[in-house]
Amino acid sequence: MSEAKEKKEKKEYQFQAEMSPLLNLITHSLYTHREIFLRELISNSSDALNKLHFLSLTDEKVLGDDGELKIDINLDEEKKTFSISDNGVGMTHDELISNIGTIASSGTGKFFDKLTGDKTKDLELIGQFGVGFYAVFMVAEEVTVDTRSYQEDQGYRWVSKGTGSYTIEPVDLPNRGTTISFSFKKEAEEFATKWRIESTIKKYSDFVAFPISLNNEKANKSTALWARSKDEIKEEEYNEFFKYIANSTEDPMSCLHLSVEAPVQFKSIMYIPKKPDRHLFSHDLDTRIHLYVKRIFIQNDCKELIPQWLRFVKGIVDSEDLDLNISREVTQKNVIMEKINKYLVRKLLGEFTDWSEKDIEKYNSFWADFGSFIKEGIHMDFANREKLIELYRCYSSFNPEKLTSLKDYVERMPADQEEIYYVYGKDKDSIENSPNIEYFRKNNLEVLYLYDEIDDFIMPSIGTYKEKQLVGIDKADLKLKEDKEKNENDKKQPAKSAKKKLLGYFKDIIGDRVEDVVESKRLVDSACTLVASKDGMNANMERMMKMMDENFQASKKVMEVNFDNLLIQNLSQIQQKFPQDQLLKDCIEQLYEGATLLDGTLESPSKFVPRSTGIMEKAAELYLKTLEEK
């Protein structure tokens, strides 16, 4: 038979041999994932429409008088028949054979390579992959494909039961495109309701770029918002889409619409919500980025598209480069996904940085709500650490009411300052009343005020910024400059030997409750303070450790004593003259416990309060005498 004649008659063809087991598996064993047949058919139609649209860009004639590209689905609930039509590129006789008669040209090929022969595993695979056109045999006994290529006037009908063979015959078709029709088989009659088809369309194909109608009613939003050009999209449309994907009643704070050609081709809409969801603070929660491939919905909450710390971002990614049949396991190690991920992070960081430079108010409000995620990023995301550190904000003694960046801090630093100083406290007052800050206040050294316990971990994790080390001011080994004024004061200070003696007595009394007692360089007014030893944790960190582990043993503190302080000077004199005096002992105890009280580590006030009353009694008695002498 000549080729021309062959195409004019009905003829039976055999499926490629390798296809039989697959078709068999699909038709007879698959019960749980039947609804994906619709996703696959719509996706094929949408591809065919995309191809035609692409051709029409260079040759308008291909559209003819059928320029409104669309997908029509018809369902007869009574007769339980279904059809889906598109006016896309259609198929020629040869294309019918090579596209849906052989495996190599269809996405099913890759799936086929993976089949193991183990039924349970293979079924799982089908669930993950989707099986392209053949998925239709999950719901249909016999399938008819009527198709006419945009290149020809002749149409063809392909019919098969999906078992071994199919027939092709010429038919007259008035229009370009493809119609696939069938009756639902008994086991799949649940799909023969409008409601079921409608909700399946909504689930998988709501944002297919082309309009889909079901029994002549519009069934999808048909606006793949991300596929449209930015300047024709209204803000309300972006907001609506956000509410739809984020399940939110509020508008987003900000939106980023990307259309990327290289290094990978994808489109994306990313939203920053106004406030984080409460549950986002727990770590095991999924991201809210949905993955589409060529406008067909693939997967909810695709973790691979965005790093954990950016899990507050919501949106979609639509890739042109991924395979529609991509499985969950493939998304995990996929290079394209990785590239998209990197690109999104770069863009989002760029956006945040932009606000921080150009719209400080917006950035500060973002920081208030999402700062903890940035901090998590600093801790986890090594590749982007530097940019993230630039985004870090906290308050400082320079202006306790205003957030500052590390960059601004460093710019304000005097040339000879070698370190960046910070301190944690529960609020501004407790920081400003802490003895540890006195030296810095007196010497005009700026100190960062940290109110968030996490910051105490972040600072050591940042370590150094612009070659300046970040140092907690409650550490023992601060590199403090000698104070000139202090040297002048030295005259009033006890002699070296007396200082040594008093410090020794402090040690005797406080004993191993502290690591050491030393002369302070940092105190200006206060008599003494407790600081973390060189290798120890600061008070805040210890409190957190104790919360996590009740057996946690805090490291011992170093007690610093200020010889400029009048009380200390007097105590030294008492010691010189009456080494065994009780008041001296009480004062030392009181000073130590007072310091632990400020530090938040005083275990019990049971001795502190009566001792303090005792000292006040003595003071009042003396005071009365001086009043009477006047």
Residue 562 main-chain phi, psi, to 5 deg: -100, 110
The number of C-alpha atoms within 13 Å of 321 and in the hemisphere containing its C-beta is 17
Largest separation between any pair of C-alpha atoms in the chain: 137
The residue among 86 and 198 lying less far from ligand ADP, judged by its C-beta, is 86
Q: How far is the CB of 219 from ligand ADP (least distance, A)?
A: 17
The residue among 48 and 317 lying less far from ligand ADP, judged by its C-beta, is 48
The residue among 128 and 576 lying less far from ligand ADP, judged by its C-beta, is 128
Q: Quick one: which segment of 52-60, 106-114, 232-240, 300-308 binds ligand ADP (CB under 6 A)?
A: 106-114
Q: Are 257 and 228 in contact (CB under 8 A)?
A: no
Helix (H) or strand (E) holding 380: helix 360-380
Contacts of 573 (CB under 8 A, 6+ apart): 494
- Binding ligand ADP (rule: CB under 6 A), the pick from 20, 99, 213, 417 is 99
Find residue 422's DSSP bridge partners: 448, 472
- Calpha distance 132→76 (Å, rounded): 24
Q: Are 434 and 598 in contact (CB under 8 A)?
A: yes
Q: How far is the CB of 324 from ligand ADP (least distance, A)?
A: 6
Contacts (CB under 6 A) with ligand ADP, residues 161-190: 178
The reply to whether 245 sits near ligand ADP by the rule CB under 6 A is no
- Binding ligand ADP (rule: CB under 6 A), the pick from 82, 129, 133, 563 is 133
Q: Quick one: which segment of 26-34, 42-50, 248-256, 349-357 binds ligand ADP (CB under 6 A)?
A: 42-50
- Calpha distance 115→325 (Å, rounded): 15
- Calpha distance 556→514 (Å, rounded): 5
Q: Are 166 and 184 in contact (CB under 8 A)?
A: no
- Binding ligand ADP (rule: CB under 6 A), the pick from 25, 69, 91, 437 is 91
- Calpha distance 256→271 (Å, rounded): 6
Nearest residue to ligand ADP by CB is 107
Residue 439 burial by Cβ neighbours in a 10 Å radius (0-12, 13-18, 19+): buried
Q: How far is the CB of 296 from ligand ADP (least distance, A)?
A: 10
* C-alpha distance from residue 11 to each of 6, 92, 143, 168, 489 (Å): 8, 15, 16, 6, 111
- Calpha distance 543→453 (Å, rounded): 10
The reply to whether 132 sits near ligand ADP by the rule CB under 6 A is yes
The residue among 88 and 377 lying less far from ligand ADP, judged by its C-beta, is 88
- Calpha distance 352→364 (Å, rounded): 10
- Calpha distance 529→398 (Å, rounded): 23
Contacts (CB under 6 A) with ligand ADP, residues 435-454: none
The residue among 48 and 305 lying less far from ligand ADP, judged by its C-beta, is 48
- Binding ligand ADP (rule: CB under 6 A), the pick from 23, 48, 349, 420 is 48
The reply to whether 149 sits near ligand ADP by the rule CB under 6 A is no
Q: Quick one: which segment of 41-49, 343-351, 449-457, 600-608 binds ligand ADP (CB under 6 A)?
A: 41-49
The residue among 96 and 527 lying less far from ligand ADP, judged by its C-beta, is 96
The residue among 71 and 584 lying less far from ligand ADP, judged by its C-beta, is 71
Residue 282 main-chain phi, psi, to 5 deg: -85, 150
Contacts (CB under 6 A) with ligand ADP, residues 369-398: none
Q: How far is the CB of 214 from ligand ADP (least distance, A)?
A: 17
Helix (H) or strand (E) holding 341: helix 335-358
The reply to whether 100 sits near ligand ADP by the rule CB under 6 A is yes
Contacts (CB under 6 A) with ligand ADP, residues 306-335: 324
Q: How far is the CB of 106 from ligand ADP (least distance, A)?
A: 3
- Binding ligand ADP (rule: CB under 6 A), the pick from 44, 87, 405, 529 is 44
153 torsion bin: left (phi>0), alpha (psi -120 to 50), beta (else): alpha
- Calpha distance 179→147 (Å, rounded): 6
Q: Quick one: which segment of 30-38, 44-52, 334-342, 354-362 binds ligand ADP (CB under 6 A)?
A: 44-52
Residues near ligand ADP (CB under 6 A), total: 18
Contacts (CB under 6 A) with ligand ADP, residues 57-86: 86
Residues that bind ligand ADP (CB under 6 A): 40, 44-45, 48, 86, 88-91, 99-100, 106-108, 132-133, 178, 324
